A and B are shown apart, each in its own frame.
Chain A
């Protein structure tokens, strides 16, 4: 963050501080705006230097973690999930696709290796990331096969059960990140990880309620 201030001062010297001269002409105003824009992009670049290895490991791992959620959610339409589970699955696909793109962009912006996600049925191929099967909450190959072989109400029950497990894993990955020195100092990393944390906690609560309400008729409740 010291770096940020020094860039600010440098731009001030070069271009004259914006607003410091009340009689500045239009040309000066133009120059001020250009200097301010240069400072804007310089500061954004500078903000990308404050990350830690823990942040990088988190982003890299979470891309693989999210990718498995995509595999699970993509099954819903073909396996006769209920309306509410299909809605949930569609939202998970939309949200986690966007978050994968954000995490890839975060890594690319910091010149880190960017895992590419390829999905073939229930098979996940990650290029540029290490072994992802040991991350918390990840489904085993057997669990994925079991989900893939189910349909209708059975799919709903398994999907919710396994997605809760999967989300709980993601939440604990954020908790682990915040338990490390220097992690989350990067504004974008803090925002991405805390958004994932709160979104998935919210979705876990939603899925538990859905699981509870499965097959219970109104009078039973």
Chain B
């Protein structure tokens, strides 16, 4: 069923995100269907330096910063407590955790092996760190520097893979998008093209193997060339306006040629020149109808002869290259899948052999500039890719910026691979003072739906439902005015993730924001309560855990609310089931079990007649699961 279309959502009008006053810690704010629990500024050692990505372990949020790492105790989300400030500069300082280990990305040229703050001036230096730093955080207040692994392009981001079949190692997939460092600094690094140098650091990713018993022995174990033999990707079809123009041209008798896989009308001036040339070959004179028809027929061959070998010899020769790197690789180990966002492509990877990820499918999109990150639906049948057009440092959400650019693209994953469905972009214009584009986020474990929270830099955070891949709908947001009233500053939400009941956002300039969902027409109290029953021991930005929901009244209530919202079951049955659930919840344990078993049977019967049989059956299962718990 189409949940999102059935939602009767009335977004606030006029949109309160338009016209917010500027400020650092006192900017005007707009909020809808969220409650902000806290905003905590960075400590002095980190303020004024870019806050980056987040990871979570137990009650702690680990926040990267270009000056190092901060660790917050978020047991009380309305008052996070800073427990650790670890100064160790490097951009981007993206963080991940596994067990007692903390991994930190270093890419910028100023990062030092000794964590010094003085930078590195020389173009090649033995002091420079570009790669992965590894710390032990068994004592969360005293991280111990264990080791580092240097890589040729440094680490812009990374992904930590815990293979379900390997308890002795974890693997780190390194994505680095900056230029290759000189060989004098790190032997073996080559920025030449692979046909000139088979050991080129381009066109590959690095896989680091980290033995858990001896993480100091972490080292690069493979450099898979997952981009080899990428064929020309599918292009988007013509826009409705272009299609209309083509039909109009066809109607007036223009010459149509196939061009780059799309039909296009030859411009009149150009067609006239070609027709004149054609007539000259036929002995000159004005073209008659028969000449025109012959020209039309000969046109594809004429065009092919004239333009058939578009590649010139010289610097444009050689095989058409694929991406040289990925930006992010989102790992979903329970499904053995990863989503690689790699320059001009979105890739689907098989990661069941962690050292040798294999490409399963690749998509491209003529509206996508720079594939940045991927998020799977919980069941792995859909994937959402982001386009970080402009690199996050540009204001790409202005009214004049196309809604298909710098957006999310939603794909279904089927036997034939990935299939494009629709775009979702922050549905409110931002000013030219605000850097804004699709950025990091995570799924919110609302059972039976795809709901995601996402950062849009100074566009704020947006919560949206993409259960219907054709029609993503915003259902909550938070936004601030620009950080600087006079020129575009660097601020906004770098990333926001749902973790154990709250949404934690890393604000580039302003610190740490924590939000909770509030019930609305789009998300019920039961759905929020069910989401809060999903408990994670840790979470990494580029690791996607599979959500499972323990039996609870909230879970049954959530499915029932969804059936009500979509008219998937008759109103009278919904009322009756809700009443029975309420009675069972307040009954004694023995009576409760009996009541739930009986209700589960009733609902199974309802499923036969329900307009949404699937969801009604899921509700019946949730109720029998609950009965079994008693």
Contacts and interface: CB of A to CB of B under 8 A. Distances in A.
Interface stretch (B29-37, B255-263, B541-549, B576-584): B255-263
A214 B258 contact: no
Interface stretch (B6-14, B302-310, B585-593, B609-617): B302-310
A193 to B, nearest CB: 9
Contact of B310 (A12, A192, A212): A212
A122 interface: no
Given A83-B239, A164-B316, A50 B119 contact: yes
Interface residues of B, number: 83
Given A83-B242, A161-B312, A205-B344, A215 B303 contact: yes
Contacts of A4: 117
B41 A199 contact: no
Given A80-B267, A175-B179, A205-B321, A199 B261 contact: no
Contacts of B271: 152
A194 B47 contact: no
A184 interface: yes
A211 B109 contact: no
A221 B320 CA distance: 14
Contact of A191 (B25, B89, B179, B391): B391
Interface string B315-327: 1100011111100
A12 B44 contact: yes
B248 to A, nearest CB: 14
A212 B177 contact: no
Interface in B307-366: 307-308, 310-312, 315-316, 320-325, 343-344, 364, 366
Nearest to A171: B179
Contacts of A87: 366-367
Contact of B320 (A8, A91, A185, A212): A212
A66 to B, nearest CB: 13
B109 A185 contact: yes
Interface in B292-307: 300, 303-304, 307
A217 interface: yes
Given A36-B44, A157-B307, A174-B179, A199 B264 contact: no
B48 A42 contact: yes
B215 interface: no
Interface stretch (A57-65, A67-75, A95-103, A126-134): A95-103
Nearest to B178: A194
Contact of B123 (A47, A179, A205): A179
Interface stretch (B378-386, B393-401, B442-450, B495-503): B393-401
Contact of B261 (A80, A181, A208, A213): A213
Contacts of A154: 270, 307
B122 A181 contact: yes
A18 B304 CA distance: 71
A67 B405 CA distance: 22
A9 to B, nearest CB: 9
A195 to B, nearest CB: 3
Interface string A172-184: 0011001111111
A190 B109 CA distance: 8
Interface in A127-173: 151-154, 156-157, 160-161, 164-165, 168
A195 B45 CA distance: 27
Nearest to A42: B48
B151 interface: no
B48 A40 contact: yes
Given A187-B50, A190-B108, A214-B260, A2 B41 contact: no
Interface in B363-379: 364, 366-367, 369-370
A40 B233 contact: no
Contacts of B235: 84
B91 interface: yes
B287 interface: no
A80 B401 contact: no
A83 B238 contact: yes
A124 interface: no
Given A198-B343, A210-B260, A80 B44 contact: no
A118 interface: no
B45 to A, nearest CB: 6
A8 B238 contact: no
Q: Is the interface of B mostly helix, strand, loop or mixed?
A: loop
A84 to B, nearest CB: 5
A168 B135 CA distance: 39
A178 B179 contact: yes
Interface string B22-58: 0011000000000000000101110111100000000
Q: A1, A39, A209: which has the most chain B beta carbons within 10 Å? A: A209
B252 interface: no
B597 interface: no
B267 A151 contact: yes
B113 interface: no
Contacts of A183: 109, 123
Contacts of B110: 1, 185
B259 to A, nearest CB: 5
Interface in A1-48: 1-2, 4-5, 8, 11-12, 17-19, 33, 36-37, 39-44, 47
Interface in B429-453: none
Interface string B103-132: 000001110000001111111000000000
B390 interface: yes
Contact of A99 (B310, B323, B366, B394): B394
A49 interface: no
A110 interface: no
A182 B121 contact: yes
Contacts of B322: 205
Interface string A198-209: 110111111011
Closest 9 A-B residue pairs measured CB to CB?
A43-B48, A80-B267, A195-B391, A152-B270, A202-B343, A40-B48, A152-B267, A98-B394, A182-B121
Given A102-B394, A187-B66, A199-B370, 15 more contacts: A1-B89, A17-B44, A36-B47, A40-B47, A42-B48, A83-B238, A156-B259, A178-B109, A191-B393, A195-B391, A202-B369, A205-B323, A209-B320, A215-B310, A217-B258
Interface of B: 24-25, 41, 43-45, 47-50, 66, 82, 89, 91, 108-110, 117-123, 177-179, 182, 191, 232-233, 235, 238-239, 242, 257-262, 264, 266-267, 269-271, 300, 303-304, 307-308, 310-312, 315-316, 320-325, 343-344, 364, 366-367, 369-370, 389-391, 393-396, 401, 405, 487-488, 490, 509
26 contacts: A1-B119, A5-B117, A17-B44, A36-B47, A40-B47, A41-B48, A43-B49, A83-B242, A91-B405, A98-B396, A151-B267, A154-B307, A156-B259, A165-B315, A165-B316, A174-B179, A175-B179, A182-B122, A184-B109, A185-B110, A194-B179, A195-B391, A203-B369, A205-B321, A209-B320, A212-B311
